[in-house]
A and B are shown apart, each in its own frame.
Chain A
Amino acid sequence: MSEPSVALDVRELHAFYGKSHILQGVNLHVREGEIVGLLGRNGSGRSTTIKAIMGMVDNRGEVLWRGRNVLGLKAYEIAHLGLGYVPESRDVFPKLTVHQNLMLGEKGKGAVGRWSFDDMYSMFPRLRERQHTEAGVLSGGEQQMLTLCRTLMGNPQLIMIDEPTEGLAPAVVQQVAAYLRELKRRGMSVILVEQKLAIALEVSDRVYVMGDRRIVFEGTPAELKADAATRKEWLEV
């Protein structure tokens, strides 16, 4: 069986915040239907990598999405080409209801995607109960569920998720893990930025480790588990 084709191919990606050079030549790729974990300590450049792919920071290099270089496009144009981004900060629209937040995930009036409001509400029943509540008063976990679902409503073919389990209670972490497995079951490509090694190793097909603003390791979860030196130098605190 031949491997699925490469969906996203990132070559020599550099990123800048003003004058500081944050990413120094990142290379990575994601195949169709593959979940790729992006690991590393805080400040290693993981969040910046996915922001740079999404066109949200100054960048240089090549970002090939299904063969087309999308670097230089605006974030909303990249979103329309099928890339989804879930921000780390649980950036819900606080004055709008849960349902309205989900509506804003949709990219056009009546755009039919693979995901429906019902899909979201059955993955996270808590959101159904609170659908008419202002998002600003939700708990941290509920806001995280909401941002995960909001991006899905735009029907991305590849979704980039920044630290979805950070600071969540174990029960909620389990729900997020179930969400990730559901994405996998439906054949979505995913880049998962994650701090919790256990979850990342469980759901990822392949992992990259970042350190010093570059990729320092690439391999399967099993290979990373076996590589004590890499874990000690770049992951363990």
Chain B
Amino acid sequence: MSTLNGVSYGLLLFMLSAGLTLIFSMMGVLNFAHASFYMLGAYFAYQVSSWTNFWVAFVVAPLLVAVLGGLFERAVLRKTHRFGHVAELLVTFGLSFVILELVQLVWGRTAVDYRVPAALDGALFQLYNANFPTYRAFMMVVAIAMLLALFLVLRKTRIGLVIQAALTHPETTEALGHNVPRVFALVFAGGCALAALAGVIGGNAFITEPGMAQAVGAIIFVVVVVGGMGSLAGALIASLLIGLMQTFAIGLDWSFIGALKSVGVEVTPESFGYPLWKLKLSQVAPILPYLLLVVMLIVRPKGILGTRDD
């Protein structure tokens, strides 16, 4: 059960980090506003589904966000590019605040009532006396479909070839007659659409509130760094790893006391450092991804499948 929950959470992370990774390969810097597009996806889906229904929102919200992302790339990022990476980084950082403020202005500071559609509510099946929600299964299907679509577009189509070429060798690709600026706008818009789609299906599974971008933003940076900057396969592995790690950790009551006991060391409240030893794994679950990040940066700075050689 935890495995399935972990995989579905991991796949959601991948939908977010896939776009972030592609945009990173293109710009050479992380897009700080990426999680904000995830939040926009959730809010747009809430709004559109309140006017129509969930399925319309499912299609419309990512498209709206893609258009916004594309416009931002054309109007702002492209002009910032020649001032270097720091400027690009700052401008996406600024954008994340603009989006946050706008969201609070329009929808308020508290969570909105964005719910799972009735058709997908309820349990799909039971396993070991626990219910597996239908909606979780739906999330997994959407994420896997997106993963396949992304793979097919990048590997099997001409535009995918041009994207792969332009990401690594923009000048040469342009000299061969390909409109690289347009490709970049397309990649940025596509990455935003993926983030928004994650928002559409994640916003109602979890909670749609102004803090959601920040909550997930830090985690996807961990995913991208651990997976290897610019590597889609690495991002997939890291997403699943972190998804599983977090859900398993929450369900486990292990602590150092237990571990020490099993090797014959008795720990009492009088022992040195007792407050640390008594911590349960479930209590430290939220910091595990960052711990993984630190370990990864020490052991293998370029990430699981990173190709960066500097």
Q: Is the beta-carbon distance between A93 and B165 smaller than 8 angstroms?
A: yes
B101 interface residue (CB < 8 Å to A):
no
Instruction: Give the size category of A's interface with B.
Output: 20 to 34
Contact code string B204-223 (vs A, CB < 8 Å = 1, else 0): 00000000000000000000
Docked pose: A94 CA to B307 CA in angstroms: 12
Docked pose: A79 CA to B164 CA in angstroms: 20
Choose from B161, B173, B175, B180 the contact partner of A103 (Cβ within 8 Å). Answer: B161
Choose from B169, B174, B176 the contact partner of A105 (Cβ within 8 Å). Answer: B176
Choose from A79, A95, A109 the contact partner of B176 (Cβ within 8 Å). Answer: A79
Contact code string B170-212 (vs A, CB < 8 Å = 1, else 0): 0111111111110000000000000000000000000000000
Q: Is the beta-carbon distance between A151 and B176 smaller than 8 angstroms?
A: yes
Q: Is the beta-carbon distance between A75 and B174 smaller than 8 angstroms?
A: yes
**Minimum CB distance partner of A109 in chain B:** B158
Q: Is the beta-carbon distance between B177 and A76 smaller than 8 angstroms?
A: yes
Interface positions of B from 123 to 180, Cβ below 8 Å from A: 158, 161-162, 164-165, 168-169, 171-180
Q: Which residues of B contact A91 (CB under 8 A)?
A: 169, 171-172
Q: Is the beta-carbon distance between B168 and A95 smaller than 8 angstroms?
A: yes
Q: Which residues of A contact B161 (CB under 8 A)?
A: 96, 100, 103-104
Query: In whole Å, how far is A42's beta carbon from the nearest beta carbon of chain B?
Result: 20
Instruction: Give the size category of B's interface with A.
Output: 10 to 19
Docked pose: A85 CA to B165 CA in angstroms: 16
Q: Is the beta-carbon distance between A154 and B177 smaller than 8 angstroms?
A: yes
A37 interface residue (CB < 8 Å to B):
no
Q: Is the beta-carbon distance between B177 and A79 smaller than 8 angstroms?
A: yes
**Minimum CB distance partner of B182 in chain A:** A76
Query: In whole Å, how far is A54's beta carbon from the nearest beta carbon of chain B?
Result: 6
Docked pose: A60 CA to B217 CA in angstroms: 45
Q: Is the beta-carbon distance between A93 and B164 smaller than 8 angstroms?
A: yes
Q: Is the beta-carbon distance between A95 and B164 smaller than 8 angstroms?
A: yes
Choose from B158, B165, B180, B181 the contact partner of A96 (Cβ within 8 Å). Answer: B165
**Minimum CB distance partner of B172 in chain A:** A91
**Minimum CB distance partner of B173 in chain A:** A104
Query: In whole Å, how far is B67's beta carbon from the nearest beta carbon of chain A?
Result: 24
Q: Is the beta-carbon distance between B176 and A150 smaller than 8 angstroms?
A: yes
Q: Is the beta-carbon distance between A94 and B175 smaller than 8 angstroms?
A: no
Docked pose: A95 CA to B233 CA in angstroms: 14
14 contacts between A and B (CB under 8 A): A54-B175, A56-B174, A56-B175, A75-B174, A79-B175, A91-B169, A91-B171, A91-B172, A94-B168, A100-B161, A104-B173, A109-B158, A151-B176, A154-B177
11 further A-B pairs in the complex, CB-CB below 8 A; given A91-B172, A93-B169, A104-B178: A56-B174, A56-B175, A76-B174, A85-B175, A87-B171, A87-B172, A103-B161, A104-B176, A107-B178, A154-B176, A154-B177
